[in-house]
């Protein structure tokens, strides 16, 4: 802030100095010394131009900046700021930008602001057109490339977005490869599938599970979009199958079980229990119709979680007209839920917390207090089946120790899986929920999510009469009044 | 200061008594109002960025019409010599003409504030970029009027003065497009000479003080040269 004030001081100083110089210039004689009038004129004009150019160079080098947009579109994101603030080792950023690109110019401003946050963050802003040799020496071949260096590690990011720089920093600081393992072997969502479809909402509501197949036959959604987002965060996505009896690999920073369709065997449940005992992190996403094996239910119960049956119906908080598509805007207090916006869960089963020693369970997302549960999703009967309406847990986080001797585990369970599928992942806050969840599970709470800041254009709704009124005032009345004033003036002076 | 005030009142009266100011203002508001209403009805977006850019372009074309008379007419009718021999400084004469013309241009711009009020009435516009946009327009107008006066002070032909002004503005508008042809540091100079390069960020709500400085220093340079040129007579 003090640097900003100093630069504002520079601005007024430079303008005042220029005014004084010009005032002094007006006192110059018609001929300076023995020179002719023409030579004097050339000298004075040349000197004035030089002084004005130098003033602009000084202002450019001591620039101050104000972001007046409501969304602070030209101010570094909170994620980028937090990440830079947390830097413990020196990072050098050389940004080769193109001056004609306003986005790149905005990013130079943001990088300069970030540099002031932490002395470990050094920024070098380089005009790519003026320093091609320097760009070549660093292997930069594209405009608006940032070369991030820490020791002998190096990453190049081509961007005009500060979040991409933040993600680059995250990848640079990560000392080892971080692997997110996706469980396979039970018909789970495929991470190589990028298919998605739009949805129709009919009289029998909205279905994405096996019962839905009775209505419309379609391929299951994939979760390729989630995988891409993780890879953009610098994480490695890999499928693992432990149905063969092999242990869940130790290099799995997180195990994601997304929408299993067939039951676990007791041996597989035991492998999952051992993984959590070793201090593993897991995310379990199950759909309403999935029947849990007793063995896996027991493992989850040891982690403080019980997965209920049926489907939540929320007459108050739902997305569009589908009461089974639960919309959540208020979240439990947890590192995962910081700054989350509205998310929605198409067809969710209720979760419950159960008492477990050395385990802390926090509900992350719940339905409204008017929600109830039904079991017959396709039937006509929609009245509550489980007592009076009440808030139901949809997503929860659990952490602690499976046994006294075990290492601390982290677990996120959701009673819905398709909110992360390709069809729903990019919308509203869904991607934020799952990416923030994975960041917590990998113990990288500061990791920024990849959702870009969305500029919401303020819109107006006008009736026909209002449009006519605006047209008459702006096109006819205003120019007409001015023209009339002109005619009146001419008439008076005629 | 009193001399300046008297000269300013005289210049402003002259502008208000002339049909040029009313004609230019009416045309300006007609084109602007038409664009504003059609853009609003089509896009339904409550921001003024498009209109502010339109005002930028229109002012480049119309300000020379307002400034072309200021010195050129006085030179043609030989009243400039009379004015220069009066007990008033050249700086006061230039500043008075500058302030009077700028008042008219800013008055035209102020009329467009009605559009912002309409947006506020029917929507929730982001006021930050609107404030910054009007600041950019004021600075832009200041530069155009100063350069227009300088050009008018160089000739006694009004059409030549207007043509010189428009030519200069157009060159400044597109100055950055030739930067890739120039060696350093001239490429940077070309980029930083660009009118639109300094105008555009401000209209989007991103205010760099160096952009403000460009308009202020360039206006001061033009006013200095106009004053110094008159003093040499």
Q: Is A372 exposed, middle or buried (0-12, 13-18, 19+ CB in 10 A)?
A: buried
| DSSP secondary structure letters along A240-262 | E--TTSPPPPTTEEEEEEE---S
Q: Closest approach of chain B CAs to the CA of A449, in angstroms?
A: 25
Task: Closest CB to B122: pick one of A14, A466, A482.
Answer: A466
Residues in B touching A65 (Cβ below 8 Å): 206-209
Report the pLDDT value the prediction gives residue B75, as an integer from 0 to 100: 82
Report the pLDDT value the prediction gives residue A382, as an integer from 0 to 100: 54
Q: Closest approach of chain B CAs to the CA of A115, in angstroms?
A: 17
Residues in B touching A470 (Cβ below 8 Å): 37, 40, 118
Of residues A285, A200, A222, A256, the one with CA closest to residue A423: A222
Mutate to test the interface with B, among A486, A490, A494 (most CBs of B within 10 A): A486
Report the pLDDT value the prediction gives residue A71, as an integer from 0 to 100: 74
What is the C-alpha separation between B108 and B128, in angstroms, rounded?
Answer: 21
Mutate to test the interface with B, among A127, A478, A492 (most CBs of B within 10 A): A478
pLDDT digits (tens, 9 = 90+) for B38-69: 999 988 888 898 899 999 999 999 999 999 98
Question: One digit per residue, pLDDT tens: chain A, 494 residues?
Answer: 567 788 899 999 999 999 999 999 888 877 777 778 888 889 999 999 999 999 998 988 888 878 888 877 778 877 788 888 888 889 999 999 987 777 787 788 788 778 867 888 988 888 888 788 888 888 888 899 999 998 888 888 888 888 888 888 888 887 677 899 999 989 899 988 877 765 544 434 555 554 444 444 445 678 988 998 888 777 889 999 887 778 899 899 999 999 999 988 899 999 999 999 999 999 999 999 888 899 999 999 999 999 998 899 988 888 877 888 899 988 999 988 887 888 999 999 999 999 998 999 999 999 999 998 887 665 545 555 666 888 999 999 999 998 888 899 999 999 999 899 988 888 888 888 998 899 899 887 655 554 444 445 677 878 889 999 999 999 999 999 999 999 998 888 87
What is the C-alpha separation between B95 and B220, in angstroms, rounded?
Answer: 11
* Chain B residue with Cα closest to A75: B206
Task: Tell me if A473 and B114 make a contact (CB, 8 A cut-off).
Answer: yes
Report whether A430 contacts A343 (CB < 8 A): yes
Of residues A311, A262, A312, the one with CA closest to residue A288: A311
Residues in B touching A462 (Cβ below 8 Å): 40-41, 44, 122
Structure tokens at B161: 């003065």
Report the pLDDT value the prediction gives residue A78, as an integer from 0 to 100: 76
What is the C-alpha separation between A159 and A98, in angstroms, rounded?
Answer: 11
How far is C-alpha A163 from the chain's CA centre?
Answer: 8
Angle CA A376–A377–A383, to nearest 5 = 65
How far is C-alpha A391 from the chain's CA centre?
Answer: 28
Range of the domain at B146: 2-231
Report the pLDDT value the prediction gives residue A252, as an integer from 0 to 100: 92
User: What DSSP character marks residue A188?
Assistant: P
Task: Tell me if B205 and A68 make a contact (CB, 8 A cut-off).
Answer: yes
Q: Closest approach of chain B CAs to the CA of A46, in angstroms?
A: 11
Residues in B touching A7 (Cβ below 8 Å): 209
| DSSP secondary structure letters along A311-361 | EEE-SSSBSTT-TTEEEE--B-SSGGGTT---EEEES---EEE---TTEEE
* Chain A residue with Cα closest to B13: A489
Report the pLDDT value the prediction gives residue A360, as an integer from 0 to 100: 95
Task: Closest CB to B131: pick one of A49, A68, A73.
Answer: A68
Report whether B125 contacts A460 (CB < 8 A): no
Question: One digit per residue, pLDDT tens: chain B, 233 residues?
Answer: 788 899 899 888 888 888 888 998 999 999 999 999 999 998 888 889 889 999 999 999 999 999 998 888 888 877 877 777 777 788 899 999 999 999 999 999 999 999 999 999 998 888 999 999 999 999 999 999 999 999 999 988 999 999 999 999 999 998 887 876 788 777 778 878 889 888 988 888 888 898 999 999 999 999 999 999 888 76
The H helix count followed by the E strand count for chain B is: 11, 1
| DSSP secondary structure letters along B53-72 | HHHHHHHHHHHHHHHHHHHH
Task: Tell me if A99 and B25 make a contact (CB, 8 A cut-off).
Answer: no
What is the C-alpha separation between B162 and B152, in angstroms, rounded?
Answer: 8
Task: Closest CB to B22: pick one of A100, A106, A489.
Answer: A489
Angle of helix B19-43 relative to helix A464-471, nearest 10 degrees, comes to 160
ipTM score here? 0.90
Residues in B touching A458 (Cβ below 8 Å): 45-47, 123-126
Of residues B158, B7, B189, the one with CA closest to residue B70: B158
User: How far, in Å, are A90, B33, B52, B67 from residue A477 at the CA level?
Assistant: 63, 10, 20, 27
Report the pLDDT value the prediction gives residue B34, as an integer from 0 to 100: 95
What is the C-alpha separation between A379 and A33, in angstroms, rounded?
Answer: 104
Residues in B touching A130 (Cβ below 8 Å): 184-185, 187-188
Task: Report H helices in A62-148.
Answer: 78-85, 102-115, 132-137
Report the pLDDT value the prediction gives residue A378, as an integer from 0 to 100: 59
Domain count, chain B: 1
Structure tokens at A209: 């599970």
Task: Tell me if A129 and B179 make a contact (CB, 8 A cut-off).
Answer: yes
Structure tokens at B1: 């200061």
| DSSP secondary structure letters along A195-206 | -------BTTB-
Q: Is A198 exposed, middle or buried (0-12, 13-18, 19+ CB in 10 A)?
A: exposed
What is the C-alpha separation between B76 and B74, in angstroms, rounded?
Answer: 5
Report whether A112 contacts A104 (CB < 8 A): no
Structure tokens at A123: 């920024």
Residues 6+ apart with CB under 8 A from B155: B72, B75, B161, B164
Structure tokens at A415: 């009673």
Residues 6+ apart with CB under 8 A from A171: A155, A233, A234
Number of alpha carbons in the 13 Å side-chain half-sphere of residue A299:
23
Q: Closest approach of chain A CAs to the CA of B120, in angstroms?
A: 9
């Amino acid at each position: 802030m003090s640097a900003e004030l100093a630069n504002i001081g520079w601005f007024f100083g430079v303008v005042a100095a220029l005014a004084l110089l010009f005032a002094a210039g007006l006192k110059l004689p018609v001929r300076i010394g023995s020179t002719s009038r023409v030579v004097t004129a050339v000298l004075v004009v040349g000197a004035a131009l030089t002084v004005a150019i130098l003033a602009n160079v000084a202002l450019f080098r001591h620039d101050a900046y104000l972001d007046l947009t409501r969304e602070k579109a030209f101010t570094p994101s909170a994620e980028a700021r937090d990440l830079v603030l947390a830097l413990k080792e020196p990072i050098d950023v050389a940004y080769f930008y193109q001056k004609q690109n306003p986005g790149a110019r905005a990013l130079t401003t943001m990088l300069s602001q970030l540099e002031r946050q932490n002395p470990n963050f050094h920024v070098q802003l380089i005009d790519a057109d003026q320093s091609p040799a320097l760009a070549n020496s660093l292997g930069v071949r594209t405009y608006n490339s940032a070369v991030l260096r820490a020791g002998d590690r190096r990453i190049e990011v081509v961007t005009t977005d500060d979040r991409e720089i933040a993600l680059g920093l995250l990848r640079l600081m990560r000392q080892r490869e971080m692997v997110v393992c996706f469980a396979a072997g039970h018909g789970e969502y495929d991470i190589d599938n990028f298919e998605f479809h739009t949805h129709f909402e009919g009289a029998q509501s909205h279905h994405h599970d096996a019962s839905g197949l009775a209505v419309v036959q379609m391929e299951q959604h994939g979760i390729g979009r989630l995988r891409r987002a993780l890879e953009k965060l610098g994480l490695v996505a890999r499928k693992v199958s432990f149905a063969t009896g092999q242990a869940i690999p130790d290099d799995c920073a997180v195990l994601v079980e997304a929408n299993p369709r067939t039951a676990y065997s007791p041996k597989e449940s035991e492998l999952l229990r051992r993984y959590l005992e070793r201090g593993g992190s897991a995310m379990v996403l199950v759909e309403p119709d999935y029947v849990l094996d007793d063995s896996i239910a027991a493992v989850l119960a040891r982690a403080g979680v019980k997965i209920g049956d049926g489907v939540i119906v929320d007459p108050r908080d739902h997305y569009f007209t589908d009461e089974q598509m639960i919309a959540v805007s208020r979240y439990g207090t947890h590192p995962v839920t910081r700054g989350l916006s509205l998310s929605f869960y198409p067809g969710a089963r209720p979760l419950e917390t159960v008492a477990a020693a050395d385990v802390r369970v926090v509900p992350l997302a719940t339905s409204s207090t008017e929600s109830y549960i039904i079991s017959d999703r396709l039937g006509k009967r929609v009245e509550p089946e489980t007592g009076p309406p009440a808030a139901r847990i949809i997503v929860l986080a659990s952490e602690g120790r499976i046994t006294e001797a075990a290492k601390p585990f982290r677990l996120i369970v959701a009673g819905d899986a398709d909110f992360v599928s390709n069809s729903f992942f990019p919308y509203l806050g869904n991607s934020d929920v799952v990416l923030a969840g994975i960041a917590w599970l990998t113990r990288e709470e500061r990791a920024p999510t990849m959702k870009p800041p969305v500029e919401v254009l303020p819109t107006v709704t006008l009736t026909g009469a209002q449009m006519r009124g605006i047209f008459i005032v702006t096109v006819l009345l205003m120019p007409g009044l001015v023209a009339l004033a002109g005619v009146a003036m001419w008439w008076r002076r005629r | 200061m009193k001399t300046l005030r008297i000269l300013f009142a005289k210049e402003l009266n002259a502008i208000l008594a002339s049909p040029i100011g009313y004609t230019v203002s009416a045309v300006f508001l007609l084109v602007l109002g038409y664009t504003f209403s059609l853009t609003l009805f089509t896009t339904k977006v409550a921001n003024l960025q498009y209109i502010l850019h339109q005002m930028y372009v229109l002012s480049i074309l119309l300000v020379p019409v307002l400034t072309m008379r200021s010195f050129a007419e006085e030179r043609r009718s030989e009243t400039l010599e009379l004015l220069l021999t009066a007990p008033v400084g050249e700086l006061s004469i230039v500043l008075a003409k500058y302030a009077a013309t700028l008042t008219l241009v800013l008055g035209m711009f102020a009329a467009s504030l009605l559009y912002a009020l309409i947006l506020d009435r029917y929507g929730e516009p982001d006021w930050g970029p609107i404030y910054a946009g009007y600041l950019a327009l004021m600075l832009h107008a200041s530069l155009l009027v100063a350069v227009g006066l300088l050009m008018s002070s160089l000739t006694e032909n009004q059409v030549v003065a207007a043509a010189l002004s428009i030519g200069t503005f157009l060159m400044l508008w597109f100055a950055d497009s030739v930067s890739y042809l120039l060696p350093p540091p001239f490429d940077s100079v070309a980029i930083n000479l660009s009118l639109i390069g300094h105008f555009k960020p401000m209209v989007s709500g991103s205010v760099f003080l160096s952009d403000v400085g460009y308009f202020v220093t360039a206006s001061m340079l033009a006013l200095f040269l106009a004053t110094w040129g008159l003093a040499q007579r």
